Structure 1
Amino acid sequence: MNKLFYLFLVLTLSSCANPDVQQAGKKITYHAVDKTDTASLRLIFSDKAFEGQLEINHRGLYKDSGDVNGVLKGDTLKGTFHYQSFGVEKWYRIPIALLKKDQHLIMGVGSMEIYMNMTFFSKRVPIDYQHPKFIFEKAR
């Protein structure tokens, strides 16, 4: 009985020390700047998924805003960005890939393909995290 209690206690305390477990269900806001473009990303994490909103402001001229959702695979977030450009009624859906590194999220860039009217990252070309569009930092 005591061994079971200590095992439970150790597992509980170790999960409290894990920052990803503490953030589960909590909304986290990130901001990024790339030259004249800015982006704001608000995410809610669950055990193996994420959802939230992304807004990209292009040089102050127009912005893309919409919902993001997807799955967590290790240190990578892969999903879709379902957005609408400012002033345009049409909705678009594109893939999104973010790499968790330290306290940052790095937005990967990749070659895209369309299959059955859905856009995907090409499996033949790896997603590039070395030359990202945005590097998101947690908002303070």
Structure 2
Amino acid sequence: MKKLAMLGLLSIALGFQSCKNKDADKTEDTTVMAKTLSKECFKAVYEADTLDLQINTLEGGKISGTMDMNIANMPKKSGELVGEFSGDTLYASYTFTQGANKKVTFKNPMAFLKRGTELILGNGQIATSMGASYFVKGTKIDYDNVKYKFSPIECMEIKPNE
């Protein structure tokens, strides 16, 4: 009887997990399927570092895009941004791979302040809980003492795996 009860509980748990995964897939599909209203490209250069950013504004005010980070003495980071503006600040999640290892992905929160035509990548205190990184509530994000200020550039088609 105990085995039957355990089997039933396991089936229910797997069912809930399956539903959760389907809901997550629906959210991602909605972002991908939204119509792109505009595309902007930016570049930030600081000493030997170069960051390239492309932002797509989607219907409903959501933002998607890509960013490549070529930072001196570090493997190249390439990935995707998803987020939205709150006033003049873009809050985004950056999911990226690092170097030649395309099997392991990382995810970091990012905040960009729009000043005039520039986007400024802010520095803030980040915490991690249960594998998710986020900006610590109640702490300020600094946009003045920063390395990376993105200036608008003409968008060029980027070929995958460059």
Q: Which category of TM-score, normalised to the shorter sequence, fits these structures?
A: 0.7 to 0.9
Unaligned runs of at least 5 residues, structure 2? 1-35, 155-162
**Shift of residue 62 of structure 1?**
2.3
Corresponding residue SS for 2:90: strand
Q: What pairs with 1:1-140 in structure 2 (closer than 5 Å)?
A: 25-46=37-58, 47-59=60-72, 62-88=75-101, 89-140=103-154
Matched letter for residue 43 of structure 2? H
**Shift of residue 48 of structure 1?**
2.1
TM superposition score normalised by structure 2? 0.68
Write the distance in 2 (CA, Å) between the matches of 1:82 and 1:45: 18
**TM superposition outliers: structure 1 runs of 4+ over 4 Å:** none
Structure number with the higher helix fraction is: 2
> Whose Rg is larger?
2
Write the distance in 2 (CA, Å) between the matches of 1:116 and 1:62: 26
Give deviations 1:6-59, integer Å, cap 9, x for gaps.
xxxxxxxxxxxxxxxxxx712111001011110000010134221100000012
**Shift of residue 61 of structure 1?**
5.1
In structure 2, do the counterparts of structure 1 residues 61 and 96 end up closer, same or farther at CA, with 3 Å as the change threshold?
A: closer
Count of matched residue positions in the alignment of Structure 1 and Structure 2: 117
How many percent identity over aligned positions? 27
Let me know the Cα RMSD of the aligned residues: 1.5
TM superposition score normalised by structure 1? 0.78
Write the distance in 2 (CA, Å) between the matches of 1:90 and 1:82: 10
**Shift of residue 60 of structure 1?**
6.7
Unaligned runs of at least 5 residues, structure 1? 1-23
Partner of 2:17: none
Write the distance in 2 (CA, Å) between the matches of 1:110 and 1:57: 21
